[in-house]
Amino acid sequence: MNKQLKKLMLVVITVLLLAACGPFEPAPELPVIENPAETPEPVVIAEPTQDIPTAVLSDGSAPEKFSKYIGLSYPPFPAGLTEGFSMMIQGTEDHGLWLVMDGADKMLWLSEITHYDANGTAFWEVRDVLVLSNVEAGLILIPDGCSLNDVPNSEIISAGRNGVIVLAWRANTSLDKFEVIPPDGIKCNSDKGVSLD
């Protein structure tokens, strides 16, 4: 067999192998991690496609231990509390979410801006508390980027694992309350996932 025929056969075999493997798609771009200790997982969570693991559901009402924070004005935080993250709820000018830790206890605060000081610093008041310490270990909290029945909804917060939403809440800014909602029809795509371990 001559060299040209060998090269032609090699090219044909390569093309056939590539065609059998399907189209090539580049890997998704991963977020840049500035602090390796807080490594976020890129999160794309869709409707459940498999059995949903058992989870302890919060009814949205804060136990007495946590309800003491409702009405709290800050900054500053009370001694012993640390902030995990904070963010404005899209579509509002005065409501935000704060992940706060009190030792091993994790909670999400729905807060509202009460006023600004002369330097433009916002002061907040806690309107409701969602306790996250009692949810199933290994879940990833998704505080934004969710839609319900393909309609974006910035008030939806979810928690999931392996692409499956397990729990969902609405940070109802008109009622200043967290509401438990079913995860059916909720899809999330966010790079702000936070492990609840």
pLDDT of residue 194: 87
**Secondary structure in 3-state letters for 21-86:** HCCCCCCCCCCCCCCHHHCCCCEEEECCCCCCCCCCCCCCCCCHHHHCCCCCEECCCCCCEEEEEE
pLDDT of residue 12: 54
Q: What pLDDT, on the 0 to 100 scale, is given for residue 26? A: 40
| The predicted structure's pLDDT at residue 195 | 86
pLDDT for the residue numbered 18: 47
* Residue 134 CA, distance from chain mean position: 17
pLDDT for 5 equals 61
| DSSP 8-class letter at 116 | E
**Predicted local confidence at residue 4, as pLDDT:** 64
Percentages (nearest 5) of helix, strand, coil residues in the chain: 15, 40, 45
pLDDT at 180: 95
- What pLDDT score was predicted for residue 1? 57
Q: Can you give the pLDDT at residue 7?
A: 63
Say what the pLDDT of residue 73 is.
96
Predicted pLDDT of residue 99: 94
The predicted-structure confidence for 131-152, as pLDDT tens digits, reads as follows 998 888 889 999 999 999 999 9
Task: Give the pLDDT score at 173.
Answer: 96
- How much is the pLDDT for 52? 36
Distances (CA, A) of 156 to 183, 189, 191: 10, 12, 15
Segments of the chain with pLDDT less than 70: 1-63
Alpha carbons 41 and 156: distance in angstroms, whole number: 19
Q: What is the pLDDT of residue 9?
A: 62
The pTM (predicted TM-score) of the whole model is: 0.68
